[in-house]
Amino acid sequence: MRPVRLDTRGLVGLAEGPDEGRPLVMLHGFPDLPRGYVPLMERFAARGRRTVAPYLRGYAPSTTRGVTSLDVLTEDLLAWADHLSPTEPIDAIGHDWGSVIVQRACLLRPERFRRVVLMSVPHVLAFVEGVRREPAQLWRSRYMAHFQAGKLADVLVRADRYRYVRDLWARWSPSLRPDEDYLAELFACFDASWPAPLAFYRVAKKRGRWPVSMLGEPDLARDSIGVPTLYLHGEEDGCVGPGLAEGQERYFTGEFTAKVLSGVGHFLHVEDPARVFDEAAPFLERG
């Protein structure tokens, strides 16, 4: 892995693969890091792809300033696309918040994306419909309400060396035992970034009717995504129940495939990168 920078926006990422390869940008979510994508990056790089996994704005060493709206996060992704491939569309993979950012970018600038893979968070309107079918999702999503508690939340999440975050990982991916080195790197990032990682949830709530507001302006939330999309969800996901992804195909006018993977939870790309690669690689190689 080598570092890559987008100095015009204060962003830093990891890169792997030949510079002349077709660009593939991978966006992480909360609470995670680009490190979670390293096994996927290595596999795609071996196929000749130029892979980049940025630290999202709000996660050091990227700037921790300016997480004021989801528009800014979307603009960051589009800036990476322009930096890596000024004239041709790129491919992208998004997990958790990364999925939301990729969705919004595809709605705003579909011509900049050739194919995308979304993981663990379905189309936001499908999420809303799913909550009506599965009220238990409100309990799964209680952490989002906790994060609205300002300084109290800032202290709560960091207490006992981020015990709250450890519990999220255990609940969301019950079969996963993350490496202590991985968690140490995550917590060091949080120490350098806090409380910016929670700003994602706070700015989305301020924008309007949550969670529809995660897609930004209401007209964008109503639009369908025309970029060819593969959606992957872990059967054991304790953060977003897999049932919430049902019926989301109505919000995709382009090629759309959805698969639920058994034996993995929310962090499916960390738990079984080989299987995620086996699903994503053939899809991204088409076209």
Indicate the DSSP class of residue 134: -
Give the DSSP letter string of 214-229: GG-SHHHHHSPB-S-E
CA distance 281 to 275: 10
CA distance 31 to 267: 10
CATH number where 8 lies? 3.40.50.1820
Residue 71: give the domain boundaries.
2-285
pLDDT tens track, the chain, 287 positions: 899 999 999 999 999 999 999 999 999 999 999 999 999 999 999 999 999 999 999 999 999 998 888 889 999 999 999 999 999 999 999 999 999 999 999 999 999 999 999 999 999 888 888 888 998 998 999 998 899 888 899 999 999 999 999 999 999 999 999 999 999 999 999 999 999 999 988 876 555 555 555 555 545 556 789 999 999 999 999 999 999 999 999 999 999 999 999 999 999 999 999 999 999 999 999 97
**Whole-number Cα distances in Å, 208 to 15, 65, 133:** 36, 22, 22
Asked whether 116 and 138 are in contact (CB, 8 A), the reply is no
Residue 92, pLDDT score: 99
Asked whether 36 and 270 are in contact (CB, 8 A), the reply is yes
Residue 179, pLDDT score: 92
Total domains present in the chain: 1
Residue 167, pLDDT score: 97
Residue 210, pLDDT score: 54
CA distance 41 to 202: 31
Asked whether 45 and 53 are in contact (CB, 8 A), the reply is no
Residue 211, pLDDT score: 54
- Contacts for 101 with CB less than 8 Å, ≥ 6 apart: 27, 56, 70, 73, 74, 76, 77, 94
Residue 265, pLDDT score: 98
Three-class SS of residue 147? coil
pTM given for the model: 0.94
Residue 205, pLDDT score: 58
